[in-house]
Amino acid sequence: MFEVNNRIVVNKRDLAIAAAVLGLLCVSAACAVTRPEGDVTAQSTIEGYPAIIEATPQRRQSGNIAWRLFLAEHGARQIEPDLHPILRTPVSLPSELAGRVKLVSGSTELTEESAREALRVFVERQMPILSGRDRTAALSLKDLSLVKFASDASNFSAVYQQMNFGYPISGSLGKLEIAIRRSGELVSLKSLLVPRLDLPRKPQIESTGLAEKMLEREFTYSAIDGRPLTYRVRSIEEVSVKEIVVYSKEETDRMLLYLAYPVEVGRGTTWTIYIDAMTGNEIAVVQNFVT
């Protein structure tokens, strides 16, 4: 490349070099495009799907702030929390706090009715810590349903199920478990609530034909004595396609949420294959028995 009469003149050799460099840059850029970690077949090209919860510094900070505010509100000293690494919700109540956080004032023993009300108020008030987010992004009480309430000589216990996705959440995710003494003190707390996320309202893949695809599928497992065994699906009667669920796949620093068909196969020894209801890809295989 040289200058003639104030004009830039480019020779053929320079053009060839520039084209080669540009080609290398394009290849490098393509290689730099990141794709989600984990099983590639479980990903999709649908924008914003699957929904992803990442263990970002902001999420960690929000969870820690919510915890400190919770302790300050109840006049407790700062105690290290036991928070889920991604959700930043309390997965247990530190032993130092058991019996030291009172949900109600006064010394009157709670009745079943007043215990339910005390728990309702507590959940509503402490939703930022229970859902791991600041108050502007937390869940609300209407997102939960009380699915179990029990009592014994000492305590009342309650289990809430998250219901805001339109489909049930599989496994232990989406549950909130609380126990309080009859005198109103908190004795245990475990929250695996999922923050507000956008998931598709309807599947793109129908369940028709999923059972047939499992025929002749072979699974390997171990006998009690360690011997390798195999199980082959021989008939359609060994396959049961369940209703759609929200299925979570947890990785090192993030959690992916899918709409999935659980397909249970086997007799006696069973496995559940989760099929993406949006793409038809296989997300995971779960063995339903211990070997």
Rounded distance between C-alpha atoms, residue 103 and residue 184, angstroms: 5
Percent of the chain past pLDDT 70, that is, above it, reads: 83
User: In the beta sheet, which residues pair with residue 179?
Assistant: 157, 188
pLDDT recorded at residue 36: 34
pLDDT recorded at residue 66: 87
What's the pLDDT tens digit per position in 59-93?
888 888 889 989 998 888 889 999 999 999 999 99
pLDDT recorded at residue 130: 92
More confident: 11 or 237:
237
**pLDDT average, residue stretch 241-260:** 96
pLDDT recorded at residue 243: 97
Pairing of strands 2-4, 7-9: antiparallel
pLDDT recorded at residue 131: 87
Across the chain, what does the average pLDDT equal? 85
Give Cα 243 distance to the centre of its chain. Answer: 19
Instruction: Tell whether the model's pLDDT for residue 255 goes beyond 90.
Output: yes
What's the pLDDT tens digit per position in 164-186?
999 999 999 999 999 999 999 99
pLDDT recorded at residue 137: 62
Instruction: Tell whether the model's pLDDT for residue 154 goes beyond 50.
Output: yes
Instruction: Tell whether the model's pLDDT for residue 257 goes beyond 60.
Output: yes
pLDDT recorded at residue 148: 97
Task: Assign 134 a pLDDT band (cuts: 50, 70, 90).
Answer: low
Contacts of 32 (CB under 8 A, 6+ apart): none
Rounded distance between C-alpha atoms, residue 165 and residue 196, angstroms: 9
Rounded distance between C-alpha atoms, residue 267 and residue 235, angstroms: 11
**Lookup result for tokens 């215990």:** 115
Burial class from Cβ neighbours inside 10 Å (0-12, 13-18, 19+) for residue 275 reads: buried
Q: How far is CA 120 from CA 89, 125, 274, in A?
A: 18, 9, 34
Instruction: Tell whether the model's pLDDT for residue 270 goes beyond 50.
Output: yes
**For the chain, domain boundaries:** 2-32, 52-191, 210-287
